[in-house]
Chains A and B, each alone.
Chain A
Amino acid sequence: MRIELSEEQLLLQDTVRRFAAEVVAPRAKEIDESGVFPREFFARAAELGLTGVAVPEQYGGAGMDVVSYCLVIEEISRACASSGVILSVNNSLVCDPILAFGTEEQKREFLTPLAAGEKIGCFALTEPDAGSDAAALRTTARRDGDDYLLDGSKVFITNGLAADVAIVFASVDLSRGHKGITAFLVPMDTPGLTRGGHQYKLGVQASGTTELFFENLRVPARYRLGDEGQGFRIAMATLDGGRIGIAAQAVGIARGAFEEARRYARERQQFGRAIAEFQTIQFYLADMAVEIDAARLLTWKAAWKKQQGGRYSLEAAQAKLFASEAAQRVTNKALQIHGGYGYTREYNVERYFRDARITEIYEGTSEIQKLVIAEQILRA
């Protein structure tokens, strides 16, 4: 057991850290307030290969490993959680399943521009009445000659406002439950597809989250990802990987809040000295650091396991559960250390505090992670 980054990984980390400080951080507050999807950030990230980190170079990606992907998401999220999730979705939820389940033709047509960042992807699984119970989705796909016709709607679709391509999950036979679910690659300009408006949220304000509506949406059969009825398995396998990205995002948010709190504690004078000299503040900082280090190790462990091949559902769920919960506690303490100033928009810490909240909800709530973990440990 050795947990030391390679030279290549350290170089990537350094590059992304600088990019985050120079390009991402300066706009974080602005896009949080405007809610505008940061297209130019996506384009700049693409130049660095961050839109398809672990996708092989032959398909437009950077050809790096899953741990490198975690480094990218942590560094970007440390500066701006909205930007972090935008990349996480494109990498984990869109590129990954096309790479794993797509035909060669689909990889050329869809994966290559997505990984290269020429196109933006989104992942359309959740519906108004099918959140944690994804198998209860109601969107249908009806075969019509060489095409399918999709009808239904999706909610909470990250990147939805800006995406060029969606992976849409629909049922070819509602009576078959999860065995009827099928995945489709859908260009967003296909007639019959409409997007909702900007959804105002508590945090990750600029993630382009919206609803999607499908009405007689015609999708050619060659755009079906995997077989009919394979969609649920594709969705679950994809979310296993996505959870690693969200865990890394949570680590990045927590680290950002921690670093700001540490700086503030050193500067802020009360009772005649820096508040960092008070034991309670020191203990807060210590607990924050422990949780961040533990969360990062669990995240890297899940990433390493994924890279090795084989099952990693348990490790991904544990990393996501732990890191997202740690992010709540860490951002809360960071805000507390800032006192009244922390509650204002002058400081970044209130944004971190709001942005952290979603990490316990999307790509599987904490409750779903616990179900997954319990199932895994009871199987052993």
Chain B
Amino acid sequence: MPPGSGLDFALTEEQELLRAEVRRFAEERLRPGLAERDRSHELPVAVLREMGEMGLLGMLVAEEYGGAGQDPLTYCLAVEEVARVCPSTAVTMSVTNSVCQWPIQRFGSDELRRRVLPELAAGAEFGGFGLTEPGSGSDAGAMQTVARRDGDDWILDGQKAWITNASIGKWFVVLARTDPAAGKRGISAFVVGREMPGFAAGAPEEKMGLRASVTGSLFFNACRVPASHLLDAEGQGLRIAFATLDHSRLGIAAQAVGIHQRALELALAYARERVQFGVPIVEHQAVRFTLARMATELAAARTLTRHAAALSERSPEAGRLASEAKLYASEAANRACFDALQIHGGNGFSEEYEIARLYRDVRVTTIYEGTSEMQRLVIARHLLAG
């Protein structure tokens, strides 16, 4: 790597301001009704529209396409602050920003960008990403969805599963096999719209956590997609998908950091109030040590995430660092929620306490956008290359 100007761990003034603004917004607009939305599986669409107006739903898109033109680190700060209050909203935000708009801006034609990005970046419409299928999760290259050329169009057939924003999204980056004989090199990426004939979104799934986010299947039944909606070139699909995931993992790492931060806050507050054996339980050394570990792992997760975000698209190590951040932050956040619930004792097992929901919400962070196992494979491949 070329020499830099030395280390600087501080955020810029603009970044600090945005972070404070998003925190305030999340507390005022997302905190109310949090538990009810979790129970009723209700996405806070009205609040998301406000987030769109604030520029939070098109952060990575250039201003000429209606986005806020922010850097990846600033984006991560915003996701972290939203996730600290509402992880469901954070994943909705992360998906439309990162796995939908980012590859369209990066790999789409100018015409396609102008058609699709402004309404997504404004938050008027939501985006999604269709890679996973019922039979292909980590082994994305084994997908069965096909696209065959028909004049100026492509005809898609198949099904995608576990798609965030499925039933509310308007535009989806969808991966399909365009040359079944070419294996992994025969996969291409398309931008598919919900208004295209042959497209259908399934009903939202019942999930353990992130219940106020929408997850469902996408069905393509001779779905007709204009050729201009192909991203980059034929056969580039998996490369686009992996580049996208390298980038989007930063958002999930940031989401995990936000959840971890909240788990620590809840554990600290509870430990100060809860009296057992005549003293607040924070006076017991075992509880203090648990809090110290949570805080230390939070510092590690946050620093890894911010460092990876700051180097994103600027270093050959960026992909490995994003995987390291996602792996570490998601696993640390799971430990933190486990420990925070333990500190809450029986009360933590009650849905009256926020930690119970966080404990459910955090679980998926080691699974989606590449399981921990896939992150380890990616990291090992980097370590053993050359």
**Chain A residues proximal to chain B, CB less than 8 Å:** 1-7, 9-10, 65, 67, 262, 266, 276, 279, 282-283, 285-287, 289-290, 293-295, 297-298, 300-301, 303-305, 315, 318, 321-322, 367, 369-371, 373-374, 377-378
In chain B, positions 342-386 with a C-beta closer than 8 Å to chain A are: 373, 375-377, 379-380, 383-384
A4, A283, A370: the one contacting B7 at CB < 8 Å is A4
CB nearest neighbor in B for A265:
B384
Q: Which of A5, A262, A297 has the most CB of B within 10 A?
A: A297
Q: How many residues of B contact A (CB 8 A)?
A: 47
Taking a contact as CB atoms under 8 Å apart, the answer to whether B376 and A377 are in contact is no
- Interface membership of B306, Cβ < 8 A: yes
Taking a contact as CB atoms under 8 Å apart, the answer to whether B7 and A377 are in contact is no
CB nearest neighbor in A for B299:
A318
Taking a contact as CB atoms under 8 Å apart, the answer to whether A6 and B3 are in contact is yes
- Interface membership of B307, Cβ < 8 A: yes
User: Which of B99-107, B200-208, B289-297 contacts its partner?
Assistant: B289-297
A7, A262, A294: the one contacting B304 at CB < 8 Å is A294
**Chain B residues proximal to chain A, CB less than 8 Å:** 1, 3-11, 15, 73, 264, 268, 272, 282, 285, 288-289, 291-293, 295-297, 299-301, 303-304, 306-307, 310-311, 320-321, 324, 327-328, 373, 375-377, 379-380, 383-384
Q: In the complex, A97 Cα to B122 Cα: how many Å?
A: 56
Taking a contact as CB atoms under 8 Å apart, the answer to whether B7 and A318 are in contact is no
Q: In the complex, A295 Cα to B324 Cα: how many Å?
A: 12
Q: With a CB–CB cut-off of 8 A, which chain A residues contact B264?
A: 377
Taking a contact as CB atoms under 8 Å apart, the answer to whether B8 and A378 are in contact is no
Q: In the complex, A319 Cα to B7 Cα: how many Å?
A: 16
Taking a contact as CB atoms under 8 Å apart, the answer to whether A304 and B9 are in contact is yes
CB nearest neighbor in A for B8:
A2
Taking a contact as CB atoms under 8 Å apart, the answer to whether B9 and A5 are in contact is no
Taking a contact as CB atoms under 8 Å apart, the answer to whether B307 and A297 are in contact is yes
Q: With a CB–CB cut-off of 8 A, which chain B residues contact A298?
A: 296, 299-300, 303
B7, B296, B306, B328: the one contacting A321 at CB < 8 Å is B296
21 A-B pairs in the complex with CB atoms less than 8 angstroms apart: A1-B9, A1-B306, A4-B1, A4-B6, A5-B4, A5-B6, A65-B6, A266-B384, A276-B384, A279-B377, A282-B376, A289-B324, A290-B324, A294-B324, A300-B7, A321-B292, A321-B296, A322-B300, A370-B292, A373-B295, A377-B295
Q: Which of B11, B291, B376 has the most CB of A within 10 A?
A: B376
Q: 3 nearest interchain CB pairs?
A: A4-B4, A282-B380, A370-B292
Q: With a CB–CB cut-off of 8 A, which chain B residues contact A286?
A: 327, 375-377, 379-380, 383
Q: In the complex, A2 Cα to B9 Cα: how many Å?
A: 6
What is the minimal beta-carbon distance from B41 to any residue of chain A, in angstroms? 34
Q: In the complex, A5 Cα to B320 Cα: how many Å?
A: 19
Q: In the complex, A10 Cα to B2 Cα: how many Å?
A: 9
A6, A279, A300: the one contacting B4 at CB < 8 Å is A6
What is the minimal beta-carbon distance from B156 to any residue of chain A, in angstroms? 34
Taking a contact as CB atoms under 8 Å apart, the answer to whether A2 and B4 are in contact is yes
Taking a contact as CB atoms under 8 Å apart, the answer to whether B7 and A304 are in contact is yes
CB nearest neighbor in B for A297:
B303
